[in-house]
Amino acid sequence: MIHAPLAVVAPTSAPSVVSDPQVFSDVLARYTLVKKLSSTLYGETALYRDEALGKKLVVLKRVSIPLLQQESQSPAVKENPLCERIVVQMLEDPLTARAPGREHVVEYVREGFFSSGDSVFIAMEFCAGGDLYDYVTSKPGRRVGESEALTLFAQLAKGLSFLHAHGVAHRDLSLENVLLKDGQVKICDFGLSADANKLSSDVVGKYYYMAPEIAQGAVYDPKKADVWSLGVLLFILLTGSPLFADEQRCAPTLRVLNKYGVAKILELWGLKKLISRPTINLLACMLQVQPQHRLSAEQVAHHPAVRRSNMPRREMAAPPA
């Protein structure tokens, strides 16, 4: 069931977002700045205290409309605050609050989408654990053990299955767009999201995580593209490296992957013996060059390797650096 018509929002329509008076109210005054967290392509994220919620810590993501307008003539697809607004609206539906997997999507603050001056603000929960990229790269070998990887991944698969079931394709899944809070992962950053049930032709996402059909400029199913990105994410958790680091290595890697599967890649890298067969099978079911052969997010969430991760944990040794 689609709770909002994502497809009606063109990715390049960001300059129009300040023209709808019913969407925004200037509520910035209720927030007190604590510290800046990071700069983004079109603004920044910062930690604030929400005075209306008992000084609760929240994160405000600011998107500068003038910065978006500066590049409005470029053919590249830009982050669109309206896409995130539609996801916020979907998540505010009381029916979604109890749906399985909702807990693995970032929580937005009530009245969490507003404008002030020439910027759009998106207010969301503060996830003190930071993002998954920083967490993984702080580990020896920039990877985690298989048991921990599957525990994290199971939550991600559940969150992505929830999004797809409610009509949202993320289109920019990556370690950087997964937050950690109290031992749980939270999918965030929906500026490139789209209607999960309509084909797309936009070239979006980070190169490491981009499905082959997107890189080739083909029309694609965004749900299947998300599953590829999810597979790359698990691959990085387990190996500390993306499938390919640049365009020169992409073609030969895809040829091996298409002909022999991901198990051959792991064998060539000397990592196959360090990862269990069910987990290699899980990777293989997602990292299919032909999108029609990939599992759905729901099928991924019910894969035997994922179900096994929900059993009592027996931490496996991380692969040697």
Domain total in the chain: 2
Q: Which of 125, 151, 182 is the last residue of a domain?
A: 125
Residue 35 domain-assigned (yes or no):
yes
Angle (CA) 36-42-44 rounded to 5° is 10
Q: Which of 125, 145, 179 is the last residue of a domain?
A: 125
Strands (E) in the chain, as ranges, are 31-40, 43-50, 56-64, 108-116, 119-125, 168-169, 178-181, 184-187, 194-195
- Which of these, 25, 8, 106, 117, lies nearest to 62 by C-alpha position? 117
The pair phi, psi for residue 195, each rounded to 5°, is -65, 120
Structural domain including 255 reads 132-309
The pair phi, psi for residue 53, each rounded to 5°, is -120, 40
Handedness of CA 302, 198, 91, 207 (dihedral sign): positive
My answer on whether 159 and 278 are in the same domain is: yes
Q: Which of 94, 125, 156 is the last residue of a domain?
A: 125
Residue 321 domain-assigned (yes or no):
no
Helix axes 277-286, 222-239, angle to 10 degrees: 150
pLDDT at site 78: 73
pLDDT at site 196: 98
pLDDT in tens, the chain (321 residues): 333 333 333 333 333 433 343 333 458 889 999 999 999 888 999 999 999 888 999 999 999 999 888 765 555 677 888 889 899 888 888 889 889 999 999 999 877 888 889 999 999 999 999 999 999 999 999 999 999 999 999 999 999 999 999 999 999 999 999 999 999 999 999 999 999 999 999 999 999 999 999 999 999 999 999 999 999 999 999 999 999 877 666 788 888 999 999 999 999 999 999 999 999 999 999 999 999 999 999 999 999 999 988 765 444 333 333
pLDDT at site 312: 52
Residue 210 maps to which CATH number?
A: 1.10.510.10
Residue 317 domain-assigned (yes or no):
no
My answer on whether 224 and 120 are in the same domain is: no
Separation CA 26–CA 102 (nearest Å):
28
Tell me the two tokens of residue 37. Answer: 């967290």
My answer on whether 94 and 13 are in the same domain is: yes
Q: Could you confirm whether 172 is annotated as catalytic?
A: yes
Q: Which of 50, 172, 189, 221 is catalytic?
A: 172
- Which of these, 288, 261, 286, lies nearest to 156 by C-alpha position? 286
How does pLDDT run across 100-113, given as a tens digit for each residue? 999 999 999 877 88
My answer on whether 151 and 119 are in the same domain is: no
pTM: 0.86
pLDDT at site 75: 56
